[in-house]
């Protein structure tokens, strides 16, 4: 078909004729530099990390240089070997776990000790606050925790949130401590409790000092200040781990508690009393739990379950001795009944005693310079239960 003078005519086409080849004119290329053979880029050397747990409690991390898979094999003896000692990594005391690597779980717990920083020096940022004000607040939070049957981990999370939040602030007035404390407990309950109390219950327990809007506003302030870092390993979580490792038997589920509830609540009472003293923030949470465990066991057991050396816990054990001596003069705690708590979970519920009075006695012992044991001795006898007072009904 051709088109001439605006007219379209049909032309016969020979079926045997070859198809015409249409050639597109090529654009003139600009002068190109001469091609050079490109050299392959240098391949980065890869490394493999080996963790070798030694018998002395240290874990040297061996970094071995390995050749790239595409490279020709060479003499492995020519590779350099880097060995360094990480002071924060100890041999994992955890047994073999079916659901995770015990070494990985242990290292993640130790890393939290570095991530979540607490320091008693934060009071220097708040000239109008005194250590006793913190003790009064924590004593009240423990009482609120028992009234609402909150777990010990919830109360200790609230204590950690409060201390770390105050470390980020300046010139907080004492009138705001109750609001910050009850908000920290509200946040902790939403993290730890399956059925946390409603926000109005936390407002009601302040007797009108705080309302729900104050708690919500302060909650956002705390979360931003903490950068949403809300999962520390508390002294209670470390203590429960130590107690479980010490009581662990072969072929037993590690997640099912096997330790004595009676002994456990005695150690937790010592921890409760010690945490009310702001000087406890000078020690890491793992060391605090290990030192408390020392006063109810031998150090050989503590070393087995924690991997800590006596040099790393001795200062905390000596500092804790007046608190332990004070509790020895009192009746031992007794498991309490909570209507909505199962019997096998009662030891996990936070309880409250006259901690402020006990703290005063312990601090007087510290001032008097009472003789403290240089090495822990196992406590043989269990003290008689105290005369407990029933808590009022939930408001």
Where residue 210 sits, what CATH number does that domain have?
Answer: 1.10.472.10
Provide the pLDDT for residue 85: 39
Instruction: Please count the CA atoms within 13 angstroms of the CA of 151 that sit on its side-chain side.
Output: 21
Q: Helix H segments across the chain?
A: 102-115, 131-147, 152-166, 177-192, 199-204, 212-225, 235-247, 261-275, 285-294, 299-306, 310-328, 355-368
**Pairing assessment for the beta strands 7-9 and 2-4 based on DSSP bridges:** antiparallel
Are 222 and 345 in the same domain?
no
Are 248 and 389 in the same domain?
yes
Are 250 and 215 in the same domain?
no
pLDDT tens, position by position, for the chain (395 residues)?
544 444 444 444 555 555 555 555 555 555 555 545 545 544 444 444 444 444 544 444 444 444 444 444 455 555 444 443 344 456 788 878 877 888 888 899 889 988 998 888 899 999 999 999 999 999 999 999 999 999 999 999 999 999 999 999 999 999 999 999 999 999 999 999 999 999 999 999 999 899 999 999 999 999 999 999 999 999 999 999 999 988 887 767 777 777 889 999 999 999 999 999 999 999 999 999 999 999 999 999 999 999 899 999 999 999 999 999 999 999 889 889 898 889 889 999 999 999 999 999 999 988 776 444 443 444 333 333 333 344 444 44
101 inside domain: no
Q: Alpha-carbon distance 270 to 296, whole Å? A: 10
Are 259 and 372 in the same domain?
yes
Q: Are 187 and 219 in contact (CB under 8 A)?
A: yes
Provide the pLDDT for residue 103: 87
5 inside domain: no
394 CA to centre of own chain: 30
Instruction: Please count the CA atoms within 13 angstroms of the CA of 32 that sit on its side-chain side.
Output: 5
CA R_g for the chain: 33
Provide the pLDDT for residue 231: 94
164 inside domain: yes
**Hey, is 88 helix, strand or coil?**
strand
**Domain limits at 299?**
233-395
User: What 8-state DSSP symbol labels residue 373?
Assistant: -
Are 291 and 336 in the same domain?
yes
Which of 180, 214, 232 is the last residue before a domain boundary? 232
Q: Alpha-carbon distance 5 to 43, whole Å? A: 68
Provide the pLDDT for residue 5: 45
Are 249 and 381 in the same domain?
yes
User: What 8-state DSSP symbol labels residue 279?
Assistant: G
Q: Dihedral (C-alpha) 49, 53, 54, 60: value to the nearest 10 degrees? A: 30
Are 200 and 348 in the same domain?
no
312 inside domain: yes
Q: Alpha-carbon distance 351 to 348, whole Å? A: 9
Query: What is the pTM assigned to this prediction?
Result: 0.71
132 inside domain: yes
Instruction: Please count the CA atoms within 13 angstroms of the CA of 335 that sit on its side-chain side.
Output: 15
**Pairing assessment for the beta strands 7-9 and 46-51 based on DSSP bridges:** unpaired
115 inside domain: no
Provide the pLDDT for residue 339: 87
Q: Alpha-carbon distance 373 to 296, whole Å? A: 13
Are 177 and 129 in the same domain?
yes
Q: Alpha-carbon distance 194 to 91, whole Å? A: 33
126 inside domain: yes
> What is the dihedral sign for C-alpha 71, 75, 76, 77?
negative
Which of 206, 232, 258 is the last residue before a domain boundary? 232
Which of 196, 217, 232 is the last residue before a domain boundary? 232
159 inside domain: yes
Are 200 and 258 in the same domain?
no
Name the domain count of the chain.
Answer: 2
Are 198 and 290 in the same domain?
no
Q: Alpha-carbon distance 276 to 271, whole Å? A: 9
Are 313 and 217 in the same domain?
no
Q: Are 320 and 312 in contact (CB under 8 A)?
A: no
Q: Alpha-carbon distance 390 to 79, whole Å? A: 70
Provide the pLDDT for residue 377: 41
Are 314 and 369 in the same domain?
yes
């Amino acid at each position: 078909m051709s088109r001439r003078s605006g007219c379209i005519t049909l032309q016969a086409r020979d079926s045997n004729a070859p198809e015409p080849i249409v050639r597109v004119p090529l654009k003139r290329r600009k002068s190109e530099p001469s091609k050079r053979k490109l050299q392959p880029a240098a391949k980065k050397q890869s490394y493999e990390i080996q963790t070798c747990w030694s018998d002395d409690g240290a874990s040297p991390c061996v970094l071995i240089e390995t050749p790239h898979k595409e490279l020709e094999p060479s003499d492995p003896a020519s590779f350099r070997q880097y060995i360094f000692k990480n002071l924060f990594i100890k041999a994992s005391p955890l047994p073999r776990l079916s659901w995770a690597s015990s070494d990985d779980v242990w290292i993640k717990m130790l890393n939290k000790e570095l991530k979540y920083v607490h320091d008693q020096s934060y009071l220097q940022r708040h000239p109008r606050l005194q250590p006793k004000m913190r003790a009064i607040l924590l004593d009240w939070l423990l009482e609120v925790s028992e009234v609402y049957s909150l777990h010990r981990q919830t109360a200790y999370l609230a204590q950690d949130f409060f201390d770390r939040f105050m470390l980020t602030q300046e010139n907080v007035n004492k009138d705001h401590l109750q609001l910050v404390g009850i908000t920290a407990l509200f946040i902790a309950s939403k993290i730890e409790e399956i059925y946390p109390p409603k926000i109005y219950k936390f407002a009601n327990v302040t007797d009108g000092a705080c309302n729900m809007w104050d708690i919500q506003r302060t909650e956002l302030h705390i979360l931003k200040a903490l950068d949403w870092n809300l999962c520390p390993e508390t002294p209670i979580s470390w203590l429960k781990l130590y107690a479980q490792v010490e009581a662990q038997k072969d072929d037993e589920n590690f997640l099912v508690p096997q330790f004595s509830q009676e002994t456990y609540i005695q150690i937790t009472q010592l921890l409760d009393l010690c945490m009310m003293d702001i000087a406890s923030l000078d020690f890491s949470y793992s060391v605090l739990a290990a030192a408390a465990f020392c006063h109810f066991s031998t150090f050989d057991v503590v070393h087995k379950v924690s991997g800590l050396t006596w040099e790393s816990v001795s200062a905390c054990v000596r500092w804790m001795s007046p608190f332990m001596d004070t509790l020895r003069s009192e009746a031992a705690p007794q498991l309490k009944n909570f209507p909505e708590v199962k019997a096998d979970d009662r030891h996990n519920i936070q309880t409250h005693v006259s901690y402020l009075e006990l703290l005063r006695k312990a601090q007087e012992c510290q001032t008097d310079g009472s003789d403290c044991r240089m090495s822990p001795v196992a406590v043989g006898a269990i003290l008689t239960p105290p005369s407990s007072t029933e808590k009022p009904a939930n408001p």
